[in-house]
């Protein structure tokens, strides 16, 4: 299951959401209509212990975005488009909280990785050891991938096989071998859509 979160390209910010949707569909051949019964117990994809903190407030438009993804107990692959500053990260974290499965978050760079890491800890009660950053600049101690956790990395770290260290290669090999219940793909530059395809689709996923 893929939930794609991205900033609208400048050329389409003033256009209709339908036009923006056509733009995205042309750029990335992604099966947007796949559905996932995330409430079913699965030994290969253990439950993630996570809850939103009582102080976390999800705004009405964020709730509306999430409602398009979760229908009748099933999660649907798709794209959420929100402008800069609208809380795309919290929408993604709320999706993680709802699915409660092993999650991989793809980001453009290390700054975005740190943002997702810090806000996940800010908005939820998840054990800090269950949230791991994995980049060329910062790699936290990896949680047991046979258990549930959140891994936050970049497209380049996963997809660029020429620049990985031996240790990173071992981690990536393990990452590819387990099943992921949710992948959040944070895209802020349309020109990168095609370049991330390999990194995204190499994962074993629901």
Give tens-digit pLDDT for 149-165: 999 998 888 776 666 77
CA atoms within 13 A on the CB side of 75: 25
Whether residue 203 is predicted with pLDDT greater than 60 in this model: the reply is yes
pTM of the model: 0.81
pLDDT band at 55 (very low <50, low <70, confident <90, very high): very high
Alpha-carbon distance of 154 to 107, in angstroms, equals 5
| DSSP letter (8 states) at residue 41 | -
Choose among 92, 36, 49, 33: nearest CA to 205.
Answer: 36
Choose among 173, 151, 153: nearest CA to 161.
Answer: 173
Choose among 64, 68, 58: nearest CA to 93.
Answer: 58
Structure tokens, 114: 């740190």
Alpha-carbon distance of 186 to 200, in angstroms, equals 11
Q: Is 107 helix (H, G, I), strand (E, B) or coil?
A: strand
- Lowest-pLDDT range of 49-58, 106-115, 174-183, 197-206: 197-206
Please, what is the end-to-end C-alpha distance for the chain in angstroms?
Answer: 5
């Amino acid at each position: 299951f893929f939930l794609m979160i991205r900033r609208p390209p400048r050329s389409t910010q003033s256009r209709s959401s339908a036009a923006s949707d056509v733009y995205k569909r042309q750029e990335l051949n992604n099966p947007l209509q796949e559905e996932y019964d995330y409430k079913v117990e699965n030994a290969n994809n253990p439950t993630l212990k996570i809850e939103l903190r009582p102080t976390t407030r999800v705004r009405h438009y964020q709730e509306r975005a999430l409602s398009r993804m979760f229908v009748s107990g099933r999660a649907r692959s798709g794209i959420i488009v929100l402008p800069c500053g609208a809380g795309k990260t919290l929408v993604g974290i709320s999706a993680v909280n709802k699915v409660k499965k092993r999650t991989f978050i793809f980001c453009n760079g290390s700054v975005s990785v740190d943002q997702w890491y810090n806000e996940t800890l800010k908005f939820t009660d998840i054990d800090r050891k269950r949230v791991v950053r994995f980049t060329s600049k910062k790699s936290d101690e990896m949680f047991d991938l046979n258990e549930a956790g959140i891994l936050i990395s970049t497209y380049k770290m996963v997809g660029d096989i020429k620049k990985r260290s031996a240790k990173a290669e071992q981690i990536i090999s393990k990452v590819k071998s387990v099943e992921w219940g949710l992948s959040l793909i944070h895209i802020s530059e349309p020109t990168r859509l095609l370049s991330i395809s390999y990194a995204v689709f190499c994962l074993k996923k629901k």
